[in-house]
Chains A and B, each alone.
Chain A
Amino acid sequence: MSKTTRYSGDEMWKNNVEKIQNSELFTLTYGSVVSQLCRDFNNNYQEVNQQLDRMGYNIGMRLIEEFLAKTGAQRCQTFKETAEMISKVGFKIFLNIQPTVTNWTQDGKTFSLVLNENPLADFVELPMGPDNRICRDLWYSQVLCGVLRGALQMVQLDVDVWFVKDVLRGDDQTELRLRLNKFLKDEVPAGED
């Protein structure tokens, strides 16, 4: 295959950004979706989290094809490798960030992704009400959890993804956790080694 058809993560990101012209538009669109959901569900933030997660799930199930088509990633042999792949390749080409993989549990089935920067929340400050409920209940970037869950399910990995910390809530960092429930071995397409 000729060299011109191979791209590195940086180039893929650049190509993507050129396509959408302006990445702020994306940040702003996401912001308006979240705030609209808050209004639609009368500030029932648990419900908003759920909706965002569901939206992300549907995105992830589709996005995985682009990820595979662009990178040509093959099946990861270990969950550790999956973690590296998500942070160094996945987040890199779609959001141009590289979260830190950390906090592995002993059994190697749960880890954390620490987002040093979060493009979804570039201009966001959660409104401080008297009861501060929004800071307690809303996970502003919950859509990311859904995306990861949907994408991994399509490559036969059943995972749970949730936020444990968010700088928007006043935490020291933004951290989400991934837990591998099951590798759906029976659903692996025939023909792989």
Chain B
Amino acid sequence: MKVYSCLILNKAGGLIYQNNVNPGLNSLSSNDFLVLAGTLHGVHAIASKIKPIPSQAKDDIGVTNTHNTNTNLIATGKSQNANSNQSGLQTIETDFFNLYIFQTLTGLKFVIVTSPNPVVHNLQPMNDFKSISRGELQKQYDSTVKLFRQLYLLFSDFVMKDPFYSLDMPVKSSLFDMRVKELLV
């Protein structure tokens, strides 16, 4: 998977950071990126509104899912996935690119645009559904989880701890730029 571009949106949907880490995308003007950010923000919000009402059958599964995720963290201190994007737009997968959205509890959104899913030959038939809960095609999604975690950590270090950074404003930090490049190139 190749990451082409990385965007960070503040909680109001404004673009605060954008970095074309790997060339390959058509170049967009900075205005286009602002529009893209705003659009994603809106679509994300709408997507969370149009999710279906959970049916009775799904509720049974829902109970285990909504079982409090923090209990383990409080008991053992073991860290977990920081993504709080449960019902909003999470991924867009196309033949040309994939786009992933990670959202924090504070409302920040991290967006990355990557190369599309690889073509998988000889897909294993999913006979044993439980043992292969995640198909071959999910692999790329899984690897973004790790990237987002690292990206969020970089952000919390190199942006939030910069005493001259003001909250919700565009990020202009060459240190952060450098670290993001190191991570994503």
Which A positions have Cβ atoms within 8 angstroms of B? 1-2, 5-10, 12, 61-66, 68-77, 81, 84-85, 88-89, 92-93, 154-155, 189-193
Distance in angstroms from B32 CB to nearest chain A CB is 23
A2 in contact with B146 given A66-B157, A193-B86 (CB within 8 Å): yes
Task: Say whether A81 contacts B68, CB under 8 Å.
Answer: yes
Which of B76, B105, B106, B161 has the most chain A CB within a 10 Å cutoff? B105
Main SS at interface, chain A:
helix
Bound CA span A85–B68, Å: 13
Whether a CB of chain A sits under 8 angstroms from the CB of B135 is no
Q: At the interface with chain A, which of B19-27, B124-132, B147-155, B174-182?
A: B147-155
A68 in contact with B74 given A77-B68, A190-B44 (CB within 8 Å): no
Total CB contacts across the A-B interface at under 8 A: 131
Bound CA span A68–B107, Å: 12
Quick one: which of A8, A9, A69, A71 contacts B155, CB cutoff 8 A?
A69
Quick one: which of B48, B81, B103 contacts A1, CB cutoff 8 A?
B81
A8 in contact with B78 given A189-B107, A191-B84 (CB within 8 Å): yes
Give the residues in chain B near A2, CB-CB below 8 Å.
146
Task: Say whether A191 contacts B103, CB under 8 Å.
Answer: yes
Give the residues in chain A near B74, CB-CB below 8 Å.
81, 84-85, 88-89
Task: Say whether B79 contacts A192, CB under 8 Å.
Answer: no
Task: Say whether A73 contacts B73, CB under 8 Å.
Answer: yes
Q: Which residue of B lies closest to A13 (CB)?
A: B77
Bound CA span A154–B160, Å: 13
Whether a CB of chain A sits under 8 angstroms from the CB of B156 is yes
Bound CA span A154–B87, Å: 20
Quick one: which of A9, A66, A73, A74 contacts B160, CB cutoff 8 A?
A66
Task: Say whether A5 contacts B149, CB under 8 Å.
Answer: yes
Task: Say whether B105 contacts A73, CB under 8 Å.
Answer: yes
Give the residues in chain B near A6, CB-CB below 8 Å.
78-80
Task: Say whether B77 contacts A5, CB under 8 Å.
Answer: no
Give the residues in chain B near A81, CB-CB below 8 Å.
68, 70, 74
Bound CA span A71–B77, Å: 8
Give the residues in chain B near A9, CB-CB below 8 Å.
77
Bound CA span A141–B124, Å: 60
Bound CA span A79–B88, Å: 25
Give the residues in chain B near A74, CB-CB below 8 Å.
69-70, 80, 84, 105
